[in-house]
Homo-oligomer: A and B are copies of this chain.
Amino acid sequence: MSELHGFLPPFTPSGHSAIIPEMPWYYSGTLLTVEYRTDPANVRALLPADIDLAPEDPGAVALIWADWQSCSEGGAELLDPIRSQYLEAFVVVRCAYEGVTYSRCVAIWVTKDFAIARGWFQGYPKKLGSAHVTRIFNRGKASPRLEAGAKLGATLSAYDHRLASAIVTLREPVEKNGFVNGHPMLHNRWMPSIERGKGMTMDQLITMGGVDADLGQAWKGDAELILADSQWDELASILPVKEIIAGYYREVGVTFAGGTLIADRSQPI
């Protein structure tokens, strides 16, 4: 584009209107995770045909609430905080492709449009939703402290339907906040042809992940989780809870600076 600038549209001469600016993108926040097992057939049913179940514990699922502040280079978003803060709730499974184990996001709801845009670029199947997580403050009686016995609630709804409610009770410091979301992501980037019934214009398999992880102390604990469906969203029906593994909490920082193309089946249609 001769004189138009921006990372994603709208493009303008200054580039300031772009829904998201150039990478890298920086994230600071907290992760509340509930890991559970569903029947591996449920995970299999959500994977494209050329992607396999993970070799170990293939029915493991992570439902993760992230309470983020994020910005691009220079940090301008931080000073107009409505543009930098958002929450997301996302569902991750593991899978395998050509012998390598990956994590894969199969559903995700976020609270801001810039997060939708970043996600579509990254192959996350993002929608808008309303997500909330108990915060940990250090003062007063309206907050748990980061200690054994702390109870944290988390909820998700979309189109005014409550889809998930979780309670995690922290028990002890641990090394990692779960294992399901611990691999590089394997995502598809799909965009159908503008011509009806023609198939996929963009059809890519990519991998990506964060860099520069800056990790706080992880905590593990018990978890309760209630899932539901609506006419517009499937959660209880497609990934029902068979057995809770654990709940986790961790403060984290991470940077996203791009991914890697694995396979391209895009067609000029």
Residues of A within 8 A of B (CB): 1-4, 7-14, 16-17, 19, 23, 26-30, 45-46, 48-49, 68-71, 75-76, 78-85, 106-108, 112-113, 116, 120-123, 125, 127-128, 130, 132-135, 137-144, 151, 153-155, 157, 159-162, 165, 167, 188-197, 201-202, 204, 206, 208, 212, 214-216, 231-234, 238, 251-255, 257-261, 264, 266, 268-269
Contacts and interface: CB of A to CB of B under 8 A. Distances in A.
A14 B113 CA distance: 26
Given A76-B231, A137-B69, A214-B139, A194 B122 contact: yes
Contact of A69 (B26, B134, B161): B134
A139 B258 contact: no
A142 B84 contact: yes
A82 B155 contact: yes
A23 B194 CA distance: 10
Contacts of A212: 141
A196 to B, nearest CB: 3
A113 B178 CA distance: 30
A87 to B, nearest CB: 10
24 contacts: A7-B192, A8-B191, A10-B108, A11-B46, A16-B233, A17-B238, A79-B151, A80-B153, A80-B159, A80-B165, A82-B159, A84-B134, A123-B194, A138-B251, A139-B251, A139-B252, A140-B214, A141-B212, A160-B160, A191-B191, A194-B208, A194-B260, A201-B266, A261-B269
